[in-house]
A and B are shown apart, each in its own frame.
Chain A
């Protein structure tokens, strides 16, 4: 699996999802993506401005990307709890998982007209050592 020169996507998953399971391999094995509609598209959004840079110390790399925004449109985006980032591969077997985050302790619904912003940390999305 190559992490460089690769496109990534981010999807939202519900409280029933197994997204937090550490042993999952591809996005196909992650259950309960948020339902399509009202501003959320199946397979989520492509990350933009992805970049790997040298981290704080030798041998460490930092991954960063632009913030991601969803807007509830025409209705609510329901039951949001997890976000999962994965490689946008050509085949199902190539769509490896990179990381996941539990966004909230209790799932929430984003009502129409409001935005959900996943704000990437100034220290990067993750570090690889």
Chain B
């Protein structure tokens, strides 16, 4: 699944310098491990005002939850500048759950169609 995040480039005081929308894909690893949402491409901010970028706010729009994360180092930006941000950590991390949570089968009382994606087999080099 893919989720939409609004990411804001902020000063230390929380003032907005620029923002962008990020589509991040969930990479589930099964219980009890966490599920990271990872961006497949760097994010690009169009800077709207001069300032020192020190942190990002990441807002999961559909759930209306948000988190703050500091940048590795503050950097001065100028209005009109285009800043490319490479995600070295997941955009969002969903905590894993206990293995022993019971999941009895649900009963489906309607026709079900499942369309598996095309698989791939590659010869060994």
Task: Determine the distance from Cα of A79 to Cα of B90 in the docked complex, in whole angstroms.
Answer: 34
Known: A103-B114, A121-B115. A127 touches B120 (CB 8 A): yes
Looking at B41-49, B91-99, B105-113, the stretch in contact with chain A turns out to be B105-113
Chain A interface (Cβ < 8 Å from any Cβ of B): 15, 76, 78-80, 83, 99, 101, 103-104, 106-111, 114-121, 123-129
Q: Is the interface of B mostly helix, strand, loop or mixed?
A: loop
Residue of A nearest to B110 (CB): A114
Chain B interface (Cβ < 8 Å from any Cβ of A): 103, 105-123
Rounded to whole Å, the gap between the CB of B86 and the closest CB of chain A is 31
CB atoms of B116 and A103 under 8 A apart: yes
Task: Determine the distance from Cα of A93 to Cα of B109 in the docked complex, in whole angstroms.
Answer: 38
CB contact between A76 and one of B107, B115, B122, B123 (< 8 Å): that residue: B107
Rounded to whole Å, the gap between the CB of A30 and the closest CB of chain B is 16
Task: Determine the distance from Cα of A111 to Cα of B106 in the docked complex, in whole angstroms.
Answer: 10
CB atoms of A123 and B119 under 8 A apart: no
Closest 6 CB pairs of A and B: A126-B119, A101-B116, A119-B115, A123-B118, A117-B113, A109-B107
CB atoms of B107 and A108 under 8 A apart: yes
CB atoms of A126 and B120 under 8 A apart: yes
CB atoms of A119 and B117 under 8 A apart: no
Chain B residue contacts of A99, Cβ below 8 A? 119, 121
